[in-house]
Amino acid sequence: MSNAVIQLGPDRIRELMAHYAGSKIERNAPGVVFAAKSGGVSITAYKSGKVLFQGGGAETEASRWGGNSSTSAKKPSAPKGEKLPSGLARMSVLGSDETGTGDFFGPVTVAACYVPAEKIALAEELGVKDSKMLTDAHMLKIGPEIKETFENSVLVLPNEKYNNVQAKGWSQGKIKALLHNQALKHVLRKLDGTKPDLILIDQFAERGIYYRHIASEPEIIRENVLFSTKAENLHVSVACASILARVAFLEEMDRLSEKAGVPLPKGAGKPVDEAAARILLKKGDDFLASITKRHFANTRKAAALASKRSGRS
């Protein structure tokens, strides 16, 4: 079993706890403030700020949170053909990324964006960088400029459809792989024969697993495709895609908040349970299902809260 340990500040610890709240497990051990198990990876956060990731995808999962890290297992060598070329940052690249997978409310959104070498400086001038380093307000501001400047595709998977395919046994990995492939396909069609030097996907699954997820698709993008974690730091195209995906998610959250009549909190923590319980009491279970990821533990927690409140009324 591979392990990865990172050191996070209090704010990032709270974000991590909210993100994995739907997968929370009980772990009564000295110094433990939070524990969860997600996608085969066990996550344990300690009072010291250290977070331990254990399991086959430990290093990949830990890398999503940054921080100072160390590993107890030697970092595996990149799969054949996965070595990133030198000078990647200045190449013409089609990048893709996603967001919304850890949020109870709102959709999964995936974006792909092509940034040719001659426009890299322009993207940097717009202030494009890893979306984790930008505020939502700033992304909402520069998102339209990115969409206007670069060829892109943004896909929003409505909660109703997400719940439908998830109930059929589709994992989040399969859902994301299908959306990434579709977004990349859309941009390549818009490029009308122009070929990127590379296609770079922000890695959420190993290459073999990714392609098994989409094996039945009639058109699969394979040529010059590379996978890497923290890809938004490797090329500005992935950073652009990350921002576009986040903006689409934020816009949909605003729309759903208006529909629900209450602001919808992000993540999957206690504020989400509270909001979901209020919505459940006000608008019913079918409505709540239409704006959430039904399989999250928040569904059960909200129902319990709503039951207690209705019992007191």
Could you read off the pLDDT of 102-114 as tens digits, one per residue? Answer: 999 999 999 999 9
In terms of domains, do 12 and 137 share one?
no
CA angle 269, 172, 106 (to 5 degrees): 50
> Using CA atoms, how far apart are residues 194 and 97, in angstroms rounded to an integer?
21
Q: Which alpha helices (DSSP H) does the chain contain, by range?
A: 10-19, 58-63, 120-125, 136-149, 159-167, 172-191, 207-213, 236-260, 270-283, 285-290, 297-312
Say if 232 falls within a structural domain. yes
What does the pLDDT read at residue 306?
A: 93
Nearest CA-CA partner of 198 in 270, 95, 102, 99: 95
In terms of domains, do 149 and 31 share one?
no
Number of domains in the chain: 3
Which structural domain, as residue segments, surrounds residue 32? 3-64
In terms of domains, do 23 and 107 share one?
no
In terms of domains, do 94 and 169 share one?
yes
In terms of domains, do 157 and 98 share one?
yes
In terms of domains, do 231 and 95 share one?
yes
> Using CA atoms, how far apart are residues 186 and 189, in angstroms rounded to an integer?
5
144 has a pLDDT exceeding 80: yes
In terms of domains, do 176 and 97 share one?
yes
In terms of domains, do 230 and 174 share one?
yes
312 has a pLDDT exceeding 80: no
| Beta-bridge mates of residue 46 | 32
In terms of domains, do 147 and 124 share one?
yes
Say if 80 falls within a structural domain. no
Query: At 257, is the pLDDT very low, low, confident or very high (cuts 50, 70, 90)?
Result: very high
What does the pLDDT read at residue 274?
A: 96
In terms of domains, do 167 and 207 share one?
yes
> Using CA atoms, how far apart are residues 86 and 116, in angstroms rounded to an integer?
17
Encoded tokens for 31: 């110094």
Say if 73 falls within a structural domain. no
Per-range mean pLDDT, top range of 68-82, 90-104, 128-142: 90-104
In terms of domains, do 205 and 282 share one?
no
- CB neighbours of 69 closer than 8 A, spacing ≥ 6? 4, 5, 6, 7, 62, 63
Q: Under the phi-then-psi rule, with left for phi > 0, alpha for psi from -120 to 50, and beta for the rest, what region is 225?
A: beta
Say if 262 falls within a structural domain. no
- CB neighbours of 156 closer than 8 A, spacing ≥ 6? 107, 108, 109, 248, 249, 252
Angle, helices 236-260/136-149, rounded to nearest 10 degrees: 120
Average pLDDT, stretch 133-139?
Answer: 85
Check the annotation: does 97 bind a ligand: yes
Nearest CA-CA partner of 277 in 312, 253, 310: 310
Say if 304 falls within a structural domain. yes
Check the annotation: does 98 bind a ligand: yes
270 has a pLDDT exceeding 70: yes
128-132, 214-218, 270-274: which range is least confident on average?
A: 128-132
CATH number for the domain harbouring residue 24: 3.30.310.10
Q: What is the pLDDT of residues 168-187, one digit of tens each?
A: 999 999 999 999 999 999 99
9-23, 96-110, 145-159: which range is least confident on average?
A: 9-23
Query: At 81, is the pLDDT very low, low, confident or very high (cuts 50, 70, 90)?
Result: very low
Say if 261 falls within a structural domain. no
